[in-house]
Amino acid sequence: MKKLPENLSPNNFEWGCATSSFQIEGGTTAGGRVATIWDDFCAQPGRIKDASDGSVACDHFHRYAGDVKLMADLGFKHYRFSIAWARVVNADNTVNMAGIDFYSRLLDELAKYDITPNATLFHWDLPSHLEGGWLNRDTAYRFADYTALVAERLGDRLPRVATLNEPWCSAFLGYDLGVFAPGHKNRESSLSVAHHLMLAHGLGIQAWRSRLSQTSLGIVLNPELCDPLTTKPEDVQAAKMAEYERNDSFLNPLFGREWPSMLLDQMGSSLSDRQAGDLAITSEPLDFIGLNYYTRSIARAPSSSEDAKRGYTFVPPDAADKTKQLTDIGWEIYPEGLKRVVNNLTQNWPLPPIWITENGAADNTPVINGSCDDDMRCSYITQHLEKMSELIAEGTDIRGYYVWSLLDNFEWAHGYSERFGVVHVDFETQVRTPKKSALMVKALLKS
């Protein structure tokens, strides 16, 4: 791609880069920040692939000014970041002004370069002291308190705010599969958590709007495109169950709809966690929705008693299948999936305007002689931009695209072993090196 299609021109389309607090900030004990479930999870042996943690990460807490200048130099005019709940709220639920001051300084830097902030309030780093975590219904109300605090202290400088990022990961990777913090493995619990997260979303929207009515408010989801392994009815049903879990359990509440009966059946005794009136809270009107897309899934009928509780078994991409190109994390490169999943969502739910809030690839190409030729990532981004342009041409209301991520960072359970940044970070020296992909995007934005 030498030039952007007209419908992706920065003149009428929002281009940005994205990060999240725990993945880049470091400074986990600085400025009164309290511990999070991810600090706790990293401290447990065997949880993180390279036994690392987020205590330093990209040291963005101290290097934010340089990072903002870097994104400006690369031509980005929009920046999606998350605010760390644990940095701005003390354990007694009072404001931590040192944390507020950090984000105020970050916003000052963004304003200096005319970069528009796009904030997410929760990107998985839940404060540890919240008893029971998301299993406790009360946590949804504490989220509303936190949301109100951010609205009051920073809200007049935040034109667009998302409540949650990818609640599926918090609920099902954290409470069912146990591969994300807090590392629990209980199917019923994960479904309760999914409900409490959506309750938190609705309460958060209410809390913010009661203080600032002009802010554009929404949520960021990572919807599923799941294809069956075969045409056998049991595989087709398994793929449908995976999509119910990933899509319906979050999108239905946004529009006042009950979950599919098969998901409700899986809740067992936890069904009582769903209370009368909850859907009226979760279905607060949305100004936008963010969609994150990386790849698709393949499912087959459950192959174990554990998977039978879920209703599906995922089949990983076959690395020996030369017809499929995989990223370095092992995910299939499937750009057509972006079109398919967006079309599926718009056909089934009355979505507000859409932003593609994350899209990118794990490409671990090293820096050689001062440059990083991440050609796979360049190709990945280009192919997905082409599909997004097609969607817009066909009438889909997509208004922006954020590449994941600005910086190589702490990639959750993979630690620092997978690199998603368009800027290479040497985690020993903290030297930043823009990759070929960053320079490609810069050239496209100038074109």
Per-residue pLDDT tens for 171-190?
A: 999 999 999 999 999 999 99
The 10s digit of each residue's pLDDT in 358-368 is 999 999 999 99
Residue 220 near residue 164 (C-beta atoms within 8 A): yes
Q: Which of 368, 335, 312 is closest to 177 using CA atoms?
A: 312
Q: What pLDDT was estimated at residue 318?
A: 80
pLDDT digits (tens, 9 = 90+) for 297-337: 999 999 999 999 999 999 998 866 777 899 999 999 999 99
What's the rounded mean pLDDT across residues 159-176? 98
Residue type, 226: C
Side-chain half-sphere CA neighbours of 392 within 13 A: 21
Q: Would you call the peptide bond into 117 cis, given omega within 30 degrees of 0 as the criterion? A: no
Residue 9: Cβ within 10 Å count: 14
Cβ neighbours, 10 Å, residue 383: 16
* pLDDT score for 1: 86
Per-domain residue ranges of the chain = 6-446
Degrees (nearest 5) of the Cα angle 270, 271, 274? 110
Residue 216: other Cβ atoms inside 10 A: 15
Q: 3-state SS of the chain?
A: CCCCCHHHCCCCCEEEEECCHHHHCCCCCHHHCCCEHHHHHHCCCCCCCCCCCCCCCCCHHHHHHHHHHHHHHCCCCEEEEECCHHHHECCCCCECHHHHHHHHHHHHHHHHCCCEEEEEEECCCCECCCCCHHHCCHHHHHHHHHHHHHHHHHHHHCCEEEEEECHHHHHHHHHCCCCCCCCCCCHHHHHHHHHHHHHHHHHHHHHHHCCCCCCEEEEEECCCCEEECCCCHHHHHHHHHHHHHHHHHHHHHHCCCCCCHHHHHHCHHHHHHCCCCHHHHHCCCCCEEEEECCCCEEEECCCCHHHHHHCCEECCCCCCCCCCCECCCCCECCCHHHHHHHHHHHHHCCCCCEEEEECCCCCCCCCECCECCCHHHHHHHHHHHHHHHHHHHCCCCEEEEEEECCECCCCHHHCCCCCCCCEEECCCCCCEEECHHHHHHHHHHHC
The pLDDT value recorded for residue 195 is 98
* pLDDT tens, residue by residue, 62-115: 999 999 999 999 999 999 999 999 999 999 999 999 999 999 999 999 999 999
Lowest-confidence region among 3-7, 319-323, 396-400, 438-442: 319-323
Q: Taking residues 397-426, report their average pLDDT.
A: 98
Tell whether the model's pLDDT for residue 245 goes beyond 70: yes
Could you list the active site residues?
166, 358
Asked if the bond preceding 305 is cis, omega within 30° of 0, the reply is no
For the chain, state the CA radius of gyration. 21
120-131: average pLDDT = 98
CA separation for the pair 192, 23 (Å, rounded): 26
Q: Which residue is it, tokens 């089934």?
A: 348
Q: Are 115 and 77 in contact (CB under 8 A)?
A: yes
- Is the pLDDT assigned to residue 249 strictly greater than 70? yes
pLDDT of residue 447: 85
Would you identify the CATH topology of the domain 6-446?
A: TIM Barrel (3.20.20)
